[in-house]
Amino acid sequence: TQPAIGNFKRTKEIMQKYGLHAKKGFGQNFLTNPTVLRGIVDAAEISKVDNVIEIGPGLGALTEQLAQRAGKVVALELDTDLIPVLADVLSDFDNVEVLNQDVLKVDLPQLIQNHFDDPTKPIKVVANLPYYITSPILMHLLGTKIDWAGITVMMQKEVAERLAAKPGTKEYGSLTLAIEYRMDAKIAFNVSRRSFVPAPNVDSAIVTLTKRAEALSVQPRDEKQLFGLIKSCFTHRRKSLWNNLKPYFKKDAVKQKQMETILAKQALDPQIRPERLTLNQFIALANAMGEAKL
C-alpha cells in the first residue's frame, strides 16, 4: 500500500505539526522515498511469521511499512521527543511497540523474551541506521548469541562496501571479517542522498546480512584471540603480514622461529599483505599461534 508517512509532503507536515527539526547529533535523516521504503522491506523478506526489531524509527516511515508485513515490530528510539509522535502516527497498528531506549544499551536477548509473544519465530532487524554508530550497532547485534534470521540495514555506502568486501581489496578489513564470521553480507541496492530529509552528505546502501550458507572450515580456539590477531594484522595495511605479526614475537629468536614454521605450515607467504588472507586462513593462523602460545 501507499505509505502514509514515508513521503516528502507528509514528513514535512509531521515535522511542522510537532515543531520538530532533524537532530544531527542523533543521525536523523528521514526517508521520504516510498520506493526505497518498500525496497527495504522486500530485501528483508518480511512476512507475518517474523518478529522484527527496528532501530531508530524516527517519524515511523519504515515502521509503518514493517507493521503492514510483519507479525510484530519492536522499535527502539533514543530521541524522547519522537515518542509521542510515533504513538500518534502509528496508532492504527496494534502490532507495533515503540520503546524509548538506546539500542547500544539494550539487553537484546531479554528484549526478545519480554516483547515477542513467540520468541522462537524468526527474529529480524530492519533499520535505517543512525550512521554515526553503524559499526558499534552491528557489533552489538553480532556480539550476542541471538540466531538472527536476517539483518537488513541502511548505512553509508562506503561502510556497506567494507561489509561486503572480498579479500585483496582496499575495503576488506577487520569489520568485513567480524561480520563474515557470523553472516553473509550483500549490498541489496544503493540509495541516493536525495531520498532523505534532510539529505545526508554521503550516499547510502542497503546491506542484507543473512545466516552463513557455508559453515566455517575451522572453528577458532578463542574468538578474542582471533579478533585480536585480525586487528593487529590490519594496523598497518601497507605492510607485509610478517611485519604486522612482529609484536607477537618481538626480538625473541625462538618465537620468531616458531612463527616462521607456522607460516610455512599454513603455506602463507610472510611477504603478502594481510588483506589477502581469507577468514578461514586467519582462523587457522590464530589457532596455530594459540597452540604455540604466541
Query: Helix crossing, 61-69 with 34-43: angle to 10°?
Result: 40
Asked if 104 interacts with ligand SAM (CB under 6 A), we say yes
233 Cβ neighbours under 8 A, 6+ residues apart: 241, 244, 245, 274, 277, 282
Is 244 annotated as contributing to ligand binding? no
Asked if 103 interacts with ligand SAM (CB under 6 A), we say yes
Question: How many Å apart are CA 136 and CA 134, to the nearest integer?
Answer: 6
According to CB under 6 A, which one of 46, 50, 53, 58 is a site residue for ligand SAM?
A: 58
| Residue list 164-183, contact with ligand SAM (CB under 6 A) | none
Is 77 annotated as contributing to ligand binding? yes
The candidate with the shortest Cα–Cα distance to 185, out of 176, 194, 193, is 176
Q: What are phi and psi of 45, to 5 degrees?
A: 50, 55
Least Å distance between CB 103 and ligand SAM?
4
Site string for ligand SAM, 117-136 (x = CB under 6 A): -----------x-x--x---
Q: What are phi and psi of 255, to 5 degrees?
A: -65, -40
Asked if 242 interacts with ligand SAM (CB under 6 A), we say no
Closest residue to ligand SAM, based on beta-carbon distance: 56
Least Å distance between CB 56 and ligand SAM?
2
Quick one: which H or E segment has residue 96? strand 96-99
Asked if 61 interacts with ligand SAM (CB under 6 A), we say yes
Question: How many Å apart are CA 58 and CA 277, to the nearest integer?
Answer: 40
The number of residues that bind ligand SAM (CB under 6 A) is 23
Q: Binding-site residues, please?
A: 29, 31, 56, 77, 102, 128
Give residues in contact with ligand SAM (CB under 6 A).
Answer: 26-31, 55-59, 61-62, 76-79, 102-104, 128, 130, 133
